[in-house]
Amino acid sequence: MPETTIHQARTLSALMDMSRHISSSLDYKLIATRCLRSLSENLDLEKCALFMPTADKKGLQLHAGIDWEEADMKYARVSMSDSPVGKVFYSGMPLAAPRAEDVPNLHVPKNFEVSPHGIVGYIAVPVLVNRMSIGVLSAFRVSSQTMLDEDVNVMKIAASILSQTLKLDDFVKSANLKLRKENEQLQAVLEGHFHLKNLISRSPAMSSVLNMVQRVAETDASVLLRGESGTGKTVIAKGAHFASTHRRSAFINVNCAAIPENLIESELFGHEKGSFTGALNQRTGKFEAAHNGTIFLDEIGELSLDTQAKLLRIIQDGTFERLGSNKTIKVDVRLIFATNADLEALVSQKRFREDLYYRLMVIPIHIPPLRERKEDILPLVSYFLEQHNKKYNKNVCISLEGHRFLESYSWPGNVRELEHTIERAVVLTVDGKEPISDIPILNSLADSAPAPVSMNLGSPAPDNFQKPRAPYERVPLHKSNIIAALEESAGIQTLAAKKLGISLRQFRYAVNKHGIEVKSFKY
């Protein structure tokens, strides 16, 4: 077979190998090494190398090479200006020399000075991206049996293949760098948002809670948050996470009451494929996902006794097995629990494991209900009002009467109820530029809990005050009735009108008619 035909077959084999390599990995060094090996094994090219600029841009460094021995490594970095590789990089033009020894400043290994087939040649071609040099592909030509131009063309094709790989690598690096920066920025925002010092609190009761959380946040001790629903246990758990050494890793929130009993173990610990009907694939559980981070188990009192036993094990030694597997998995997670249930009663009823109860009670923290920290109501109102005004593009504000009512209400739903009340008020307000004097939801609130309001105000009704027999039932608007209503409501006109069964507009008309000074009734 003619030498030309053999060379063409070997060239085609090299190109096919390189085309397969380009999609085999995202590591450009690995792809470059594989492509250079294809050139070396299929063609008479030796010491194939990929040179790329150094970090200081003053030289070119070997990034991938074939058959480079220890003695050659001192030539792995070359000058940008004096070396043949540097000149190819700057000019963007290939270099093809039939005699390598004729190329100025080129190091030719001694065993390459004369090949079995004749004089050694040298080829160097630029690796271009958008017509800009990003590297140089070089090789020694140890055979003169084929045309030099053919080998140059093969090297150009190899450089083109590598240029796409390098372009993709640069894109991936840029995308990863952007993602890391965005992640760091988001992490900083979250740390600032959920930092314990930024949580809205003015009451001594909550200050004591936050001080306790701050003290235990930097430890690995498990924490049990106790309190009524809606008091802010999840927010405090996030604050503890972002104040801990685990803040750079995931925060996994699991509501145990929201997951069916037959799925809770799979959700927490994961399962293997085929471990039960419907387990079509392997699943990673929440504990694995929270490795090196924090897992927050809310409503812990809702777990079954079997799940409690497995949970006790992971609290003690950090190990568990997926459903359907015998392989023990060890994780490093910070554990925070929460419940609004009476765990002591559950223990006595044998519905909660006593050993788990004592394990959870290492650092119990009670979150007081909103009615026991009245000082926090108005700061929370301002915060929620600002958030929902921004969300709905409104400019709603609440009058002094509305503030006084919000402070006097008992809030059985705690902070969650307060937030939803403010949101409804913003949504239902037609003209947001005017202060809310009669918040739309206040009527229903007053209906639901008149007693706590009256007790909180601490002002008994006078003997001549006639309480309404039914909501909105009209009471005669005598001056004495109006005064009694104002005294009972501590000057809050919304409540006073409610007690008399009239609208706020009618009440204000009657007040003006009788010349009553409302401010004199306010505490």
- Mapped onto helix, strand or coil, the DSSP state of residue 78 is strand
What do you get for the CA distance between the two ends of the chain, in Å?
111
DSSP structure class, residue 461:
P
Instruction: Give 1-19 pLDDT, tens digit per residue.
Output: 556 666 667 777 777 777 6
Instruction: Give the tokens for residue 132.
Output: 């800009």
pTM listed for this prediction: 0.58
Which residue blocks in 148-203 are alpha helix, DSSP H? 148-194
Question: How many residues are there in the chain?
Answer: 523
For residue 54, which amino acid is it? T
Computed over every residue of the chain, the mean pLDDT equals: 80
The gap from C-alpha 331 to its chain's centroid, in whole angstroms, comes to 20
Of 409, 399, 393, nearest to 452 (Cα)?
Answer: 409
pLDDT of residue 246 exceeding 80, the answer is yes
Asked whether this chain's domains 3-172 and 459-523 adopt the same fold, the reply is no
Tracing tokens 């002094």 back to the chain, one arrives at 400
Can you give the residue ranges of every domain in the chain?
Answer: 3-172, 206-365, 369-456, 459-523
How many other C-beta atoms are found inside a 10 Å radius of the C-beta of residue 40? 18
Cα–Cα dist 330/136, whole Å: 48
Is residue 520 within 8 Å of 493, Cβ to Cβ? no
What pLDDT, on a 0 to 100 scale, did the predictor assign at position 380?
A: 92
pLDDT at 146: 59
311 pLDDT more than 60: yes
**Worst-scoring range by mean pLDDT, 138-152, 249-263, 380-394, 493-507?**
138-152
Contact 155, 42 (CB under 8 A): no
What integer pLDDT is reported at residue 457 of this predicted model?
29
CA distance 261 to 271: 15
Query: pLDDT tens digit string along 114-141?
Result: 455 557 888 898 988 888 888 888 888 8
462 pLDDT above the threshold of 50: no
Topology of domain 3-172 in CATH is: Beta-Lactamase (3.30.450)
SS3 411: coil
Q: What 3-state class would DSSP assign to 372?
A: helix
**How many other C-beta atoms can be found within 10 angstroms of the C-beta atom of residue 351?**
16
pLDDT bin (cut points 50, 70, 90) of residue 449 is very low
- 459-523 folds as Arc Repressor Mutant, subunit A (1.10.10)
Higher pLDDT, 232 or 66: 232
Report d(CA 228, CA 209) in Å as an integer: 15
- Strand, helix or coil for residue 96: strand
- Whether residue 160 contacts residue 18, with contact meaning beta carbons closer than 8 Å, is answered with no
Report how far residue 443's alpha carbon sits from residue 441's, in angstroms, rounded to the nearest whole number.
6
Strands 223-226 and 364-366: what pairing?
parallel
Pick the CATH number of 369-456 from 1.10.8.60, 1.20.1630.10, 3.40.50.720, 1.10.3720.10: 1.10.8.60
Is the pLDDT confidence value at 287 over 90?
yes
**CA nearest to 310, candidates 292, 290, 285:** 285
- Whole-number pLDDT of residue 452: 34
The matching CATH number, chosen from 3.90.1150.10, 3.40.50.1980, 3.40.50.720, 3.40.50.300, for 206-365 is 3.40.50.300
